[in-house]
Amino acid sequence: MSAHITDEKPTLLLVDDDADFLSALAPAMIKRGFLVSTANSAESAFELAKQEAPEYAVVDLKMSGNSGLVLVRQLASLEAGTKIVVLTGFASISTAVEAIKLGATHYLAKPVDADEIVSAFGKKNGDAEVELSSNPLSIERLEWEHIQRVLSEHDGNISATARSLNMHRRTLQRKLSKNH
C-alpha cells in the first residue's frame, strides 16, 4: 500500500468558451491551490476528463456545441465525487434545477470571482437563510423562465420548443439571444 502524498494539489477543470474569462480565472484558481486545466468546449473538456477525472470542475452553461448541462452529466458519470459548479450569464430556475439534478454541486450567475467559486465548492447543503425576494418576477422574467423550462423539456431543441410554444423559431431564437 502506497503512502498518500498530502501536499498534492486538487485538480480543477475550467470550461468556458470565453478565452478572456478562462485566462483571468485560471491564475486566480492556481493561487488558491488548484492544479488547473482548461477547455473551451464541453467536448474537449470531456476528452480531458476521460484521461483523468478532475476533483473539481467549473462549467459554463451556454457554449457552442454541447451545453454545460451535457458536460455536467458526463462528468458526474465519470466520477460521482467530482464537485461541479455551473456558471452562467443566462441564469434561470429550470437550468439551475436541471444542473443540480444532473450532478452539479452549485449553480452561480455570472459575474463571479474565484472566492465565490471556492466557497460554492464547499457547500454541501442548501441555505435555509438565503434571502427571499419580496418582489414578484417581471412579465419578461416569467416568460424567460417558461421558455427555459420548455426548452429543457425538449432537450435544448429550438425547433421543438418553438412548436410547443406555438412560436416562430426565429422569434424564439431572438428571445433566447437576449441576455436575461
| pLDDT in the model for residue 134 | 59
Taking the mean position of all CA atoms in its chain, how far away is CA 34? 19
Residues 163-172: tens digit of each pLDDT: 988 999 998 8
Is the pLDDT at 57 greater than 90? The verdict is yes
Residues 6-28: tens digit of each pLDDT: 468 999 999 998 888 899 999 99
Is the pLDDT at 132 greater than 60? The verdict is no
What's the mean pLDDT when you consider all of the chain? 84
Average pLDDT over residues 132-154: 72
Whether residue 109 contacts residue 93, with contact meaning beta carbons closer than 8 Å, is answered with: no
Q: What percent of the chain has pLDDT over 70?
A: 87
Secondary structure of residue 39 in the 3-state scheme: strand
For residue 125, what is its C-alpha cell? 447543503
Does pTM top 0.75 for this prediction? no
Residues 64-120: tens digit of each pLDDT: 888 899 999 999 999 888 999 999 877 777 788 888 899 999 988 888 889 999 998
For residue 100, what is its C-alpha cell? 443540480
Neighbour tally for 125: CB within 10 Å: 5
- d(CA 41, CA 64) in angstroms, rounded, equals 7
| pLDDT in the model for residue 155 | 78
Kindly list the structural domains of the chain, giving each domain's residue range(s) and its CATH number in brackets, ordered by start.
11-122 (3.40.50.2300), 139-177 (1.10.10.60)
- d(CA 53, CA 11) in angstroms, rounded, equals 8
Handedness of CA 38, 44, 45, 47 (dihedral sign): negative
Helices 93-102 and 68-78 meet at what angle, rounded to 10?
A: 20
Neighbour tally for 104: CB within 10 Å: 25
Is the pLDDT at 1 greater than 50? The verdict is no
- d(CA 59, CA 42) in angstroms, rounded, equals 8
Is the pLDDT at 178 greater than 80? The verdict is no
